[in-house]
Amino acid sequence: MGKCLECNEILKGREGQKYCSEYCKSSFHYKKNKEKEPSTYVKVATHLKLNRSILKKYNISGQSQIKQEILVAGGFDFRYSTHTWTAKNGNLYHFCYEFGYRDLNDGKYMLIIWQDYMR
C-alpha cells in the first residue's frame, strides 16, 4: 500500500493511486505549480499591466507631463509596451493598452490617452 503524495495518509483502493482525495490531488498540483518560474508570457503581461496602471495613475486629466524618475520609482519599465503611434508631426508615442507616453527628451514624458483619430 502506498501513501498519499500530499498528506501521507495510507491509500485505500486501486493500485497506482497517488492521492487519497480530490482535495489532496488539487492541493499537491497547486503547490507544485506555485513553485514554478512564471512563463515569459506571464512576466510580460505582468509588466504591461503594471505600466498601464502607472500611466493611468499619473494621467488624470487625459494629457499631462511627468518626470522620468517618478515613473521609474513606481516600477515603470520602458521596455514593455503594446503598440506605438506616430503623430502627423512625427512624434512617436508608446502605449500600454489605452494609456500612452512620449519622450520629451528633457527627463520628462507627455502622457496621453488613446483617441479614435489615432487609428
Beta bridge partners of residue 29, listed in sequence order: none
What's the structural domain count of the chain?
2
Give the mean pLDDT of the chain.
95
| Predicted pLDDT of residue 1 | 72
| One domain for residues 24 and 61 | no
Q: What is the pLDDT of residue 38?
A: 85
pTM for the structure as a whole? 0.72
Question: DSSP readout, 35-86?
Answer: HSPPPHHHHHHHHHHHHHHHHHHH-SSSEEEEEHHHHHHTT--TT--SEEEE
Instruction: State whether 30 and 47 are in the same domain.
Output: no
pLDDT of residue 100: 97
Q: What is the pLDDT of residues 59-99, one digit of tens each?
A: 988 899 999 999 999 999 999 999 999 999 999 999 999 99
Please give the pLDDT value at position 11: 94
**Do 21 and 63 sit in the same domain of this protein?**
no
